[in-house]
Structure 1
């Protein structure tokens, strides 16, 4: 077993582990929905911006994985599963908040999944175009991830509360990001640099989110901000 296969396998395993984190976030929403009947409470402080960007990140890597040669199973199937799970979170945000923005976001996400799946079925017909599009999208999404998580970070910091945000999601995705960085390095820079850029960006944001969970528990400022919002 060479290093590429080993890191690819490890990355796939940790992506599956990260899916547990995404599911934990989804489960948190379901639990809060049972506990609260007020509109918006089940998804309180969840950034629609951040989750829509996360969805695009997973989906773009799904497209990237089937656009490069050889077809990269390590990238394709775990990312498709992750995109579908985050899509379910977007669906729950829409159901909970019933806003135009959440409806449009979920509808666009659904349409993009359909288009990406069609691209997979067409195979080599759009491989070159798909790779160009997905690579460009990954760079754009790297910037959007930084912006999206900044929005989530700002929500937590300003409120002194983590709301419906689930720390397990950040922990598991951070593990995936670290393994993705290792996997990207074994792919060679020409093929792996898009993975590298996005994984490093994502890892930094997860570290900040995880720190904020501690900050919320320990900081007098966080306590003060919580008291002001009640």
Structure 2
């Protein structure tokens, strides 16, 4: 009965009811046990959440709907396939391509990161790499790190056929090798290692990866680490 009431609140046009139902849903999912989730239909819930994330009516509704999807991924084992199937990825990417509300975009990025752990190909095909990198430097550093961890996940499964979805991001990734944040640099290195492994049989693609400053920037990075480790008191 409780979930039925939440679903009705999400379906209706009453904004206050929607927010109340979303808050209740997030709270329930956040503290979920197997018993507390009895009666929850992910199949009934996800289409409503996708609609609410896609709506541009109210920042709080979009934020809570993004958060609810993240909580579903965390608390319901095996739910990630349904999250992809019901079309959650495109509206999350949209929130990153047009940052109307920074907190909504942050939550969308966190949710995409969770999806990318199991469904990197689907996130990449939806334009996920471009979306994550579009306004990366607008975010706090902790969120930027999550963004780069997402990019590294997306590079796990790149094929010659999907290389066009990565190519336009290569100059930005090459520049990020010189980021002052070590975690970001680590994620960028992981991304390039995975990319090179994915397409090692395709010389033209390998050349396109290296064509935007990757090698000089990698060399500068190595020089910095050698000079710092060779400094007095260094390792």
Class of the TM-score when normalised by the shorter of the 2 chains: under 0.3
Q: Report which of the two structures shows the higher radius of gyration computed on alpha carbons.
A: 2
TM-score normalised by structure 2 residue count: 0.26
Richer in helix (by share): 1
The one of the two structures with greater contact order (alpha-carbon pairs below 8 A, sep at least 6) is 1
TM-score normalised by structure 1 residue count: 0.26
